[in-house]
Amino acid sequence: MSLLEIENLTVHYGKRVAVDDLKLSLQPGEIVAMLGPNGAGKSTTLLSVAGALVPSSGSIRLDGTLLSEDPLKVRARIGFADQPPSLYDFFTVEEHLAFVAETRGAPVSEDHASMLADLGLASIAKRLCRELSFGMRQRVGLAAALVGGVDVVLLDETLNGLDPRAAVRARTALSKASEKGAAILMSTHLLGIAERLCQRILIMDQGLLKADVSGAELDALLAKGAGAVEALYLSLVSEPEEKV
Amino acid sequence: MKAASLIRWSNLEDRRRRQSMGGFAALPEMLVAVLWGAILAAELVRRLALVSDKDLVASASASSQLWVAAAVCAFAIAVFGAPFRLYWRRDSKLLASLPVPGTSLFALALWRSHRSALQVSLALLVALVPMGVFVDWQWALRHLLAVGIGFLGAAWLGPAAALGAGAIVASDKAQAMIASMGGEFQAPRTSWLGILPGLAATALTVALMACAPWIAGGRPPGGSILMIALLALGVSAIALLWAWTRAASVIPAAVREVAALDQEILAHVERSTPSKIERAAIALLRSPRSRWVAVKDAALLRRRYPSPYFVIPCGIIAIWIVAASQPLSYLPWAGSFLGAILVYAILMARRAQSEPVEIPRLISTLAIRRGEVAGAKNLLSSLRIALIALTAGPLLIARAPDPLSAAIFVLLASALSWLAARTR
């Protein structure tokens, strides 16, 4: 059985359909990139899985438990980094992480220290979140999504805006979480990250899942060399003016 | 997460936030309450200590009315704060995605409401001292009834009403039912977060007004004072019990609705635009850039904070009713209502200065002068205050035993509100 199962997920904003009948499943340890133009439905999908938005129809299950039936139990196992990251400005970095971990029922542990080190946050652990730069806030948001031993990590363009060293640190931390069995679903516009880090690539457009590439198919695509993912993306995604 | 832990974390963040503001806001809350109480006490000392024995009875009665009027305003504002403690929180977006139980969130809101009610009570107790010293302690202690009823309203009834409002906002079934009853008039979905606490504040006001004659030394108008006290206790306790049993299911859904509203990802946001009166006033602004800011502010305030557009007209109607029906003894009440809705207008002006209505960092990068931004905000806040004064003031003045004093009061209250609402 899959770790996360999304069945017939549909989200309406008034008359507009943001996500249309999405079916998706994630396996433990899988790192999945969600690509698509702005307004494709990526963030809406992530918000729905995170429990921050009630879908119009469809179901979301984690290990067989329906999110709508036991939201607290499911949300305790899902970490979500939104855009821009929601941080308590007047908590220090380590206090913010401890707070989030506590809501997930996980005590402050050595994991926190190693995660702070992995993400290059150890030196700013005692600083208030309001004093942090954009990139630092992104990294704290990522750390908050990872703390507490979550099974599913949802990232909404969290790797955007990181400097190269910070991006490497973030990739390492995500790989580590994946090795421990966490499934990672990230929306991004950075095709390079998708190619290098992810074992599966989804392409969404106008609320629809246009492509789901993984395994041998993805290997074959990547073997074509640089620009293959970009070419696939451009072939599937319509021009903005065509949508209106 | 347990309620005690959530309260501990919340207190830590709250304390640091206030300290960062500096000045008056950085002082301990209870000290601020004592200072407010001391200001009211100073006015009561002036009224009671400087009169002859012959005038003491009349002055004591007037002082009691002033004290009760202050209690009504302060407790009503504390009741109106309940939805802010539950839903319109800075962290609602984060809390919407974290597994925090609804009962813990409600316990936090209750804790904050009790603290707020305690602050008001403390200020009023400080202000009671001159009445005991200069008149009679036994008489002064009658005022404790108002403190008790006000405390129940602010600490129990307010959060329960806010939770009930959240249940309506989050329930599609309730919305469909209201829509079928409302006909062409459709109140914005989130306006219930202001309407129900507004009704709770009205009920509290009525209860305090009913007790006022007994507190001042007379007899209650019909029924016994014990009945009023028991009714206040019973209604508040039942409302709180009901709210506690519903908190687990209602609050997470309502917090999610409000958080989604802030992210502008929710279809329930009414795409309101400035009203005709606002447009006419905005047209008076010389700078086109100021006009853009004013149109933006007027539209966003209506979308994000729809309840004042319902509550303020209700307050004005209440003033008309009170002024028209009770020309003499109840005029201080009309004055208190006017003060309360002017405070609401000041709060709206403050909201126009911060997110999500204004984004200071964004506006500072745009080709618009600070004076033009301030001009737009000041125009709208001045318009609101002028409309309140012009609609509520004339009847209040006309029915007053001393129209000149009433006119001075209306002008002074409007001018002070205008100063407090100004953006610099």
Together in a domain, B214 and B327: no
Nearest to A50 among B17, B97, B252 (CB): B97
* B359-368 own/partner pairs: CB under 8 Å, 24+ apart: B363/B293, B367/B289, B368/B289, B368/B290, B368/B292, B368/B293
Q: What is the pLDDT of residues A56-82, one digit of tens each?
A: 899 999 999 999 888 888 988 999 998
Together in a domain, B308 and B335: yes
Instruction: Write down the pLDDT at residue B265.
Output: 45
Q: Please state, in angstroms and as integers, the Cα–Cα distance from residue A70 to each residue in B124, B237, B248, B249, following that order.
A: 45, 30, 12, 11
Q: Which of B245, B270, B295 is the last residue of a domain?
A: B270
Q: What is the pLDDT of residues B367-376, one digit of tens each?
A: 788 889 999 9
Other CB atoms within a 10 A radius of the CB of residue B391 amount to 15
Q: Which of B241, B270, B299 is the last residue of a domain?
A: B270
In angstroms and rounded to an integer, the radius of gyration of the C-alpha atoms of chain B is: 22
- What structural domains and CATH numbers belong to chain A? 4-243 (3.40.50.300)
Together in a domain, B232 and B294: no
Instruction: Write down the pLDDT at residue B148.
Output: 95
**In this predicted model, which residue has the larger pLDDT, B106 or B356?**
B106
**In whole angstroms, what is the distance from residue A129 CA to residue A77 CA?**
24
CA distance to partner chain A, nearest, from residue B3 (Å): 11
Mean per-residue pLDDT for B77-106?
A: 84
Whether the full predicted model's pTM is greater than 0.95, yes or no, is no
Q: What is the pLDDT of residues A107-118, one digit of tens each?
A: 766 677 888 888
Q: Give the count of Cβ contacts less than 8 A between chain A and B.
A: 71
Q: Are the beta carbons of B98 and A103 separated by less than 8 Å?
A: yes
B120 pLDDT exceeds 70? yes
Together in a domain, B412 and B339: yes
- Chosen for mutation from A103, A133, A150, A158 (greatest number of chain B CBs closer than 10 Å) is A103
Residues in a beta bridge with A9? A22
Angle at A49 between CA A37 and CA A230, to 5 degrees: 25
Helices (H), B273-330: 276-282, 288-304, 308-325
- Across chain B, mean pLDDT equals 84
Q: What percent of chain B has pLDDT over 90?
A: 28
Domain count, chain B: 2
> Does the CA dihedral B350-B356-B362-B363 come out positive or negative?
negative
B158-170 and B225-262 are packed helices; what angle lies between their axes, rounded to 10 degrees? 40
- Chosen for mutation from B97, B189, B361 (greatest number of chain A CBs closer than 10 Å) is B97
B126 pLDDT exceeds 90? yes
Q: Which of B270, B291, B317 is the last residue of a domain?
A: B270
Q: Are the beta carbons of A100 and B20 separated by less than 8 Å?
A: no
- Across chain A, mean pLDDT equals 88
Together in a domain, B264 and B280: no
Together in a domain, B310 and B204: no
H/E stretch holding A203: strand A200-205
Together in a domain, B197 and B339: no
Show the domain range for B49. 1-270
